[in-house]
Amino acid sequence: MSKVGWIGLGAMGGPMAVVLANAGHEVTAFDVADGRAQSLAGPGLTPAASAKEAVAEADVVALMVATPAQADAVLFGPDELAAALRPGTVVLLMATVGPAAVVSLAERLAPFDVDLVDAPVSGGTKRAATGELLMMVSGSERALAAVRPLLDAMASSAPVVGSAVGDGQKVKLVNQLLCGVHIAAAGEALAFAEALGLDPKETWKVLRTGAAASFMFDDRGSRMVDPENTEVRSALDIFVKDMGLVVDAARDSTYPAPLASAAEQLYLSGRRAGLGRRDDSSVIEVLRGR
């Protein structure tokens, strides 16, 4: 079993680290939020007082942060974590940071004899807690062999989508384009139902099993039509970031991406309206005109 230094214990990272520990791996974990690592402590999962302590004996360093800047700061910030890693260590980056950022990180880790596996995840917090995520994986054969037992513990599907670091991020951006547009479409459809004088919850119940159904319509739609729901499973700010990455990558490829661009504007409007830390299903409030 692997010794894993885990950085990032948020809504996704926390349950993923617990799943890995429950599978028999030795996880030493750190999060910048005080007390979060301690709250997850248990058999196989040891809290660390710092990121450097978390990775000191690690065979694999797992990063589950939110943004490219955070990934960069962890590895190359004031603590100089990259320089502290043992030669042969593998960094398993599971955050959505975009192809350019992950390629840059891999290139800067190479002089330390540290490989990077690009493995962004999809599936939400429920699947994170049950080890049923989708992971889109790319990297060298040696690095992939080192992390395969970890991938198999955290994901029900972890296909290798390419040998080059960055290929995983590219597939994840395609995934996020679909997810972001589907959430926005669900919000528009249910707000449209309200504008027509329909009961949105009853409309959602009728449509969720028909040809217009999607995972996002079923999942986010259920929260859009529940006035009592205040749970934050995935913050709207995440889609501000991810749709920005999609649109930037499309622009770099001279690809128009009109639906992604429109969805990005809705999420930006939501952030501007103060919804950034609310659940991403709250994008319906923008479409309601509130």
Domain boundaries, the chain: 3-163, 170-287
Query: For residue range 209-220, what is the model confidence (pLDDT) as tens digits?
Result: 999 999 999 999
Would the pLDDT of 290 be above 80?
no
Confidence of residue 2 (pLDDT cuts 50, 70, 90): confident
Predicted local confidence at residue 1, as pLDDT: 72
DSSP H/E element including 7: strand 3-7
| CATH code assigned to 3-163 | 3.40.50.720
Please give the model's pTM, rounded to 2 decimal places. 0.93
% of the chain residues with pLDDT over 90:
93
For 57, which DSSP code?
A: T
Q: Taking residues 88-92, report their average pLDDT.
A: 97
What digits encode the pLDDT tens for the residues 238-263? Answer: 999 999 999 999 999 999 999 999 99
CATH architecture of the domain 170-287 equals: Orthogonal Bundle (1.10)
Average pLDDT (161-180) is 97
**Contacts with 154 (C-beta within 8 Å, 6 or more apart), sequence order:** 16, 19, 20, 121, 128, 131, 133, 135
User: Counting beta carbons within 10 angstroms of the beta carbon of residue 270, is it exposed (0 to 12), middle (13 to 18) or buried (19 or more)?
Assistant: buried
Residue positions annotated with a catalytic role: 172
